[in-house]
Amino acid sequence: MKNMPMELGGSGGRANSSGDVAQILPVPNATIPYWRTQLHWIDEYRSTEELPARCDVAIIGGGMSGVTLAYHLYEQASATGQAPPSIVLLEARQVCSGATGRNGGHCKVKSTTLSRMTERDGAEVAEEYAAFVQDQVYAMKHVVETEDLDCEFELRRSFDVVSVTAKKLSKSKRDFEPISSKAGGGRDTSISWVTSIKDAKVALSVPICSFWPYKFVSQLLARIVERSPINVQTNTLVTGVTDDKSGCSVLHTARGTIKARKVVFATNGYTAGICSTYNGKIVPTKGTAVHITPRPEPVAPHLSHTYNINYTPGPGRVDYLNPRPDGGIVVGGGNWTYAHDRSQWDGNFDDSTLLPSVQPHFAGLMQRHFKGWEDSGAQIDGIWTGIQGYTADEHPHVGEVPGKEGRQWVMAGYNGGGMAMIFLCAQGLAKMVVDGSRYEKTGLPMMFKTSTSRL
């Protein structure tokens, strides 16, 4: 899923019929995303029939955050010769059934994000973020190769496209050139004048990676299970976390309780449901994506880039597209079609239902906007919703939970852009959990550090 640049109400939940705020927890019967159509054997895996009574580290969340954190925890223990910690990974539903399994499947720095960051935080902060994302692209490439993950990983380029009328062309040039020269930090960014999109006047081209998120996460988790003592418990909803007198945290589930010396909330948009520190601070929002297939055969030539299309008039009208190797397209966005009705998206954590007003926008999208697709017969063959976690400053919260230092950590609130940050955030957080490293020693961007002042 991608950024929804609309002001958030920060309700922290959806009101039920009595007017009370419902607890923010994953719901059953979620819509089925394209990425979850080829399930791995680990999808509903449980390492043991019963929950273990205690562990060193409990990770709540079985998506990209939780699984890559477990990977880094074991890798770092191995690299330093330490005995691996006992880890229990708990997932409310199936592996990678939350936001990771519902997003766009590409890792990139979006030009509009850099533009806002440059204006709000300064060019130096934007440069740090851009460098961090580019480092992650190659860190993910390394783990895909090292662990032999078959997840359609590709190093590609992505176009951030402005579709404008000719009279607005000069303004688009002025908007894009500073992003390329300043926030791009001299990296491989360039302004392009030719794309596959009709009426596109200018595009910023940047290097990125794309992959099948579910296959990445499920296969990486399987590698961890095969060679480490991790205990995986799917379909185990954590409904609360309390403290006991011994200094441990107690995780409450319908299947019993677990005592953990350390707890990590890798729960993104659901974090406030079980960690009250982030109530109203990480706000769940609902978005939509679809899978489109040309019929009866793929369109030639194949689209080799991913895209963010910035429509005019008006800000915030952005779609993201990820062409797949088989000729299909994953497309998400369209939030302006329902932005006027806040009840549909703000504080909404129900991914079992669709947003009714957005589907007509996606129908015929490829035929309307892409050259050579006019007679493609492209149709939507899958539509789903996903829950994103948004924060006031548009940065994730990573680090020790304020007031719970040394016992609880968080990595959540990715503002719809988690694929560009999670893997290296998990690596940095693992240093804090294993070695007690201070955040400042992890190499993570300071803008991500969770703190009382940020809250």
Average confidence (pLDDT) over 374-398: 96
Work out the burial of residue 307: count CB atoms within 10 Å of its CB; fewer than 13 is exposed, 13-18 middle, 19 or more buried: buried
The pLDDT tens digits of the residues spanning 49-60 come to 999 999 999 999
Q: At residue 185, does pLDDT exceed 50? A: no
pLDDT score at 203: 80
pLDDT score at 373: 95
pLDDT score at 6: 38
Residue in this structure with the two tokens 């990445």, named with its chain if needed: 216
Q: Please give the structure tokens belonging to residue 214.
A: 């579910």
Selection from 28, 85, 95 nearest residue 263 by Cα: 85
| Contact criterion met (CB below 8 Å) for 92 and 233 | no
Q: What percent of the chain has pLDDT over 90?
A: 74
pLDDT score at 170: 46
Q: What percent of the chain has pLDDT over 70?
A: 87
pLDDT score at 328: 96
pLDDT score at 4: 42
Q: Please give the structure tokens belonging to residue 199.
A: 């009426």
pLDDT score at 197: 84
pLDDT score at 315: 66
Q: At residue 399, does pLDDT exceed 60? A: yes
pLDDT score at 80: 86
The pLDDT tens digits of the residues spanning 202-239 come to 788 888 999 999 999 999 999 999 999 999 999 999 99
The pLDDT tens digits of the residues spanning 11-32 come to 333 533 333 446 899 999 999 9
Backbone angles phi, psi at 27, to 5 degrees: -100, 160
The pLDDT tens digits of the residues spanning 62-109 come to 999 999 999 999 999 988 888 899 999 999 999 999 999 999 999 988
Residue in this structure with the two tokens 């957080």, named with its chain if needed: 429
For residues 422 and 435, what is the distance between their CA atoms, to the nearest angstrom?
Answer: 20
Q: At residue 137, does pLDDT exceed 90? A: yes
pLDDT score at 118: 87
Q: Which of 28-32, 33-37, 145-149, 174-178 has the lowest mean pLDDT?
A: 174-178
Question: 422-435 and 123-146 helices cross at what angle (nearest 10)?
Answer: 80
Q: Which of 7-16, 27-36, 338-347 has the lowest mean pLDDT?
A: 7-16
Q: At residue 7, does pLDDT exceed 80? A: no
Q: How far is CA 414 from the centre of its chain?
A: 6
Helix (H) or strand (E) holding 332: strand 329-333
Q: Which of 90-94, 307-311, 399-403 has the lowest mean pLDDT?
A: 307-311
Under the banding of pLDDT at 50, 70 and 90, the label for residue 242 is: very high
Q: At residue 192, does pLDDT exceed 70? A: no
For residues 93 and 285, what is the distance between their CA atoms, to the nearest angstrom?
Answer: 19
Q: What is the mean pLDDT of the chain?
A: 88
For residues 428 and 314, what is the distance between their CA atoms, to the nearest angstrom?
Answer: 38
Q: At residue 437, does pLDDT exceed 60? A: yes
Selection from 406, 422, 398 nearest residue 71 by Cα: 422
pLDDT score at 310: 85
Average confidence (pLDDT) over 128-140: 93
Q: At residue 178, does pLDDT exceed 70? A: no
Average confidence (pLDDT) over 386-395: 96
